[in-house]
Structure 1
Amino acid sequence: MTGGATQEAPVGLTIRGGTKVYPGTVALKSVDFDLRMGAVNVLVGENGAGKSTMMKVIAGVERLTEGVIEMDGEAVDFHSTDDAVRRGIGIVHQELNLFPDLSVSDNIFMGRERRRFGVDIDRAEQRRLTREIMRRLEHDIDPDTPVADLRVGQQQIVEIAKSLAQDARILILDEPTSALSAAEVEILFRVIDELRRDGVGLVYISHRLEELIRIGDYITVLRDGHITGARSMEGVDVAWIVRNMIGEASKTYAKAEEHELGEPVLHLQDVTLPRNGGGLAVDHVSLSVRKGEILGIYGLMGAGRSELLECIIGRHAHAGGTIEVDGDRIDGRSVAGRIKRGIALIPEDRKTDGLIQIASIRENMTLSSLRDFTRGFHMNLATEKGRVRDFVKRMTIKIASPENPVASLSGGNQQKVVIAKALMTEPKVLLMDEPSRGIDIGAKAEVFRVMRKLARDGLGIVFVTSDLEEVMSLSDRILVMSEGRVTGEFDRHDATDTALIRASAPASAERHLTTSEEEPV
């Protein structure tokens, strides 16, 4: 089966002037999009390009700030996912949305239960329909099996089955093959081909460029919330996709300042992390970081980048491999023990994992270093307040008072509080997971300035990002991860956009990135 529509497919849904604004960012900017029926509409772009936002708008998860959605020539306004479902729109999210303690059939019909005489749930009928859907998906999964007992690939099949049970006219598939084996991918493609013949309009999102070219009829490319390319898939190749994803030319970014690097401060050897349901989320990763070095780790969602940082900080007791700081092996598994040994983490989700929103700025900032202000059973509040004042000045955090709730600060200043909290532990290694996530461009510049100053002062920094410009402008050295493994290493002088994208592509797509496509586009 190959993509490429032989004749123009009818448009079933359109977005005109679609704009979606979140606090601090514009996710979609005056987007015009046509979703064609009886066709596979593939959607591609870097992380943060606006793909998921646009699909959430279509599925009723989010509402446009400006613009109009039309179906069959009629303006529609989805206030909820239920509104979208009633219009025949289904979505398979990249992140599994299942109840692990419930059975397969209960998950498939959750919220849409089959009833006898409108009263009790007809579980026998649900099991029968589940078996039918599973036969269609060529999987022999017992309807009564708890979802928690399934491996990840089977759970993905259940997620797909949920949408098939809705008989959707429009079906959105967001990275549907991320957890599937090659054989399961082929089954899914056969089901997609069947749905296409039945007139279903499919939206297919994937970072696997091979899949897009193989299965797509139409392609839309998003970059920074704008549509940069939209056409029939006929004649589209990898070079065209990459060119529209990252711009007309590959770019290199000069580092703002040079400085001498010191001795190795962090060394990892064969770090592994088992994944629930089988396989490895982190697959034998080895790396070293020197004092004063900024090591950037680039990769797509699901590459294992965040999980690697969690292994280093000690969040997973079942992780394998060895970790050394200043040449000394760290055997303790606790997070507190790792902090004492000189490792600190800036988590990706600062609001959930980095801050206590109802607590004051001062209390948040000293949370990881309370032992420095404690004498017996008492805290030296004067010393604590003095240290907080020093870090507020050092980090140029804009606050009225350290006693104000941290939730009163902007996203950029909250991020600086999280960084200050980590620095108060006097780390030797600072781990930063998406340090610019959810902050505006001015705040990003401030955070990057802080990172460069910390490196100049001799701190070893490992930061994870899915932003090409960030990783190339900040890093002394870049590692690329895909499917839990390190798939590329680049000195900042040698790195190009195209090379990083090529290294981050999942293994199934690598053979399609030929030598002729390695030149900057």
Structure 2
Amino acid sequence: MTDRPILELRSVTRTFPGVVAMDDVSIAFRPGEVHAVIGENGAGKSTMMNVLAGELQPDAGAILVDGKKVGISDALASQMLGIRIVFQELSLCHNLTVGENVLLSTFADRPPLSILARNGAARAAAEPLAKLGLTDVATDTPVATLSVAQQQLVEIARAISQHVRILVLDEPNSALSPRESARLFEVIRTLKAQGVTIIYVSHHLEEVLALADRISVMRDGRLVRTIDNDPEVDVDLLVTHMVGRQVNAADQYALRPEAHNHLGEPVLDVRDLSVAGNIRHASFTLSQGEILGVAGLPDSGKDILADAIFGLAPRGGTIEIGGIRLPPGRPPHSIAAGISLIPADRRAAGALLSMTVAENAVSAALRRFTRHGFLRHRPIRDTAADYVGKLDARIASLGQKIATLSGGNQQKIILARGLVTGPRVLILHEPTRGIDVGAKAEIYSILKALAADGLAILMISSELPEIMLHSSRVIVMADQVIMGQLSGADITEEAIMALATRKEAVRAA
């Protein structure tokens, strides 16, 4: 590995109205290194990636590749320089197959009206998929039918299917199982050995320490420092650099609710819930003031549970809220009965990216803010401002586009939208996916306060610490069924994984 940078940012600045997203940032990336970039939400990481992708242009400064100043005017210009970026918010075409998505970026290099042999295309797409261990998914499978974890692997396969010199990975394993993550890390190390530069953007600091050669820390749009990864660097040191003060990384987990303390009456009653190919005969109840965690591996069925309850997925069985049965496939009935859903994918299913903070905050309850068919803008502003204050969302103004907010602040505005409807049951699917350590602690504190006020919360998550330390009770799914439930001191990683892998354990026996 040479010390001569393959990619440099020199004094790059990028501003938005009321916000300096990148402030005179200079950073160099070497060939054949894994260079982690960390920082809280709003630190400037996403802006840096968008500049490298050609989505944003710097207001000042320069970008150099192989020591030569370059302009990255658009995504194609970025790709021509050998830069490939896999964003956390996926950009797959759901109407195309897995193979078509993997090869999609190569079509730009082909002449118009050229013919691509199907068999050859399938073989070309299968190779990068196999590298990631995704051998159980056929290349002709529609992407829309895949789980979030599988889609994430397809996105990464698309990036490594092309000639890549600089690979930028944004929270690449946020939805992956431990086995899938381990396979991804093997691929990263292989690419590094081949001379590819990996820019690894992540909030999972343990992974950063396991993978990175160097670590750059950003805060408030500035580069704080770049450090070599050595045995003296630990999670607490990185967190201190990220937030600018001494912080114990375990502080974010000091919020666990006491199991079954002061719980009210059952609010949500799920009986014999079934979704074809995903869930079989699931039954459970959720009470006032309870945070019920749902854990399981990616193929367990847990990731369709929220949609099934809310009415977005066809289902059998019965769902009652406050004794009132909900008809299947009717989300408006669910909202009217008092259910709010915060989806896992902020970009595709959560935030209304072209709309403002205020519009996003009230969009699920517009009838409350209309008179004779016209929107009442003052109540909209007052309500949005109230929830922005309650949730401590950092925004420039209520008129700011939600797309310009950090992930943590986007999540707070989406949470505000759910709360504006006055729910009795709040369903959270991957509530802190892609959110930094500080914003996570804030979200957890908000959820604890909501539960203390009597709100019933169903939290579905792939992050075991999140499930273990913030749930009053936990149900664990495997092989499309609920394998068991845990409460109190029984909620441990070992107990959860024993239930989550029970099918494999039985087969092994």
* CA distance in structure 2 between the aligned counterparts of 1:484 and 1:37, rounded to whole angstroms: 32
Matched, 1:173 2:162: no
* CA distance in structure 2 between the aligned counterparts of 1:396 and 1:156, rounded to whole angstroms: 33
Deviation digits for residues 460-518 of structure 1, max 9, x if unmatched? 79696752574477663678874177332399xxxxxxxxxxxxxxx79x99xxxxxxx
User: Counterpart in 1 of 2:462?
Assistant: 483
User: SS of the counterpart of 1:434?
Assistant: helix
Q: Is the contact between residue 265 and residue 289 of structure 1 (CA under 8 Å) also seen in structure 2?
A: yes
Amino acid at match of 1:488: L
> CA, structure 1 residues 276+461, in 2 after alignment: closer, same or farther (shift >3 Å)?
closer
User: SS of the counterpart of 1:63?
Assistant: coil
User: Counterpart in 1 of 2:33?
Assistant: 39
Deviation digits for residues 22-80 of structure 1, max 9, x if unmatched? 34433333322221211111222334433222222112222223332222222222110
* CA distance in structure 1 between the aligned counterparts of 2:217 and 2:169, rounded to whole angstroms: 16
> CA, structure 1 residues 79+234, in 2 after alignment: closer, same or farther (shift >3 Å)?
same
Q: Is the contact between residue 36 and residue 199 of structure 2 (CA under 8 Å) also seen in structure 1?
A: yes
When Rg is computed on C-alpha atoms for both structures, the one with the higher figure is 1
Amino acid at match of 2:46: S
Matched, 1:221 2:230: no
User: SS of the counterpart of 1:20?
Assistant: strand
Match of 2:88 among 84, 90, 94: 94
* CA distance in structure 2 between the aligned counterparts of 1:15 and 1:346, rounded to whole angstroms: 37
Deviation digits for residues 255-289 of structure 1, max 9, x if unmatched? xxxxxxx9948845679999999699xx9997655
* CA distance in structure 2 between the aligned counterparts of 1:84 and 1:67, rounded to whole angstroms: 17
Higher helix content, 1 or 2: 2
**The 10-residue stretch of structure 1 (220-229 or 50-59) with the greater mean CA deviation from structure 2:** 220-229
Q: Is the contact between residue 271 and residue 322 of structure 1 (CA under 8 Å) also seen in structure 2?
A: yes
* CA distance in structure 2 between the aligned counterparts of 1:284 and 1:39, rounded to whole angstroms: 49
* CA distance in structure 2 between the aligned counterparts of 1:24 and 1:308, rounded to whole angstroms: 40
Matched, 1:249 2:251: no
* CA distance in structure 2 between the aligned counterparts of 1:39 and 1:321, rounded to whole angstroms: 53
Amino acid at match of 1:412: L
TM-score by length of 2: 0.62
> CA, structure 1 residues 339+250, in 2 after alignment: closer, same or farther (shift >3 Å)?
same
Cα distance, 1:352 vs. partner? 6.6
TM-score by length of 1: 0.60
* CA distance in structure 2 between the aligned counterparts of 1:263 and 1:184, rounded to whole angstroms: 38
User: Counterpart in 2 of 1:434?
Assistant: 411
Matched, 1:196 2:192: yes
User: SS of the counterpart of 2:43?
Assistant: coil
1:377-456 alignment, distance < 5 Å: 381=372, 388=376, 391=379, 395=383, 412=398, 434-436=411-413
> CA, structure 1 residues 324+113, in 2 after alignment: closer, same or farther (shift >3 Å)?
closer
User: Counterpart in 2 of 1:341?
Assistant: 337
> CA, structure 1 residues 284+60, in 2 after alignment: closer, same or farther (shift >3 Å)?
farther
User: SS of the counterpart of 1:227?
Assistant: strand
Cα distance, 1:121 vs. partner? 2.2
* CA distance in structure 2 between the aligned counterparts of 1:17 and 1:437, rounded to whole angstroms: 34
Amino acid at match of 1:434: Q
User: Counterpart in 2 of 1:404?
Assistant: none
* CA distance in structure 2 between the aligned counterparts of 1:117 and 1:324, rounded to whole angstroms: 57
User: SS of the counterpart of 2:61?
Assistant: strand
Matched, 1:28 2:5: no
* CA distance in structure 2 between the aligned counterparts of 1:35 and 1:276, rounded to whole angstroms: 48
Aligned length: 416
Cα distance, 1:165 vs. partner? 2.5
Cα distance, 1:187 vs. partner? 3.2
* CA distance in structure 2 between the aligned counterparts of 1:26 and 1:306, rounded to whole angstroms: 37
Give the unaligned 5+ runs of structure 2.
253-261, 344-349, 387-395, 402-408, 452-456, 473-492, 498-509
Amino acid at match of 1:244: H
1:101-250 alignment, distance < 5 Å: 101-113=95-107, 120-123=114-117, 124-137=119-132, 139-140=134-135, 142-148=138-144, 150=146, 152-235=148-231, 236-250=233-247
RMSD between aligned alpha carbons?
Answer: 5.5
Q: Is the contact between residue 43 and residue 51 of structure 1 (CA under 8 Å) also seen in structure 2?
A: yes
Identical aligned residues as a percent? 30
> CA, structure 1 residues 323+203, in 2 after alignment: closer, same or farther (shift >3 Å)?
farther
Amino acid at match of 1:248: R
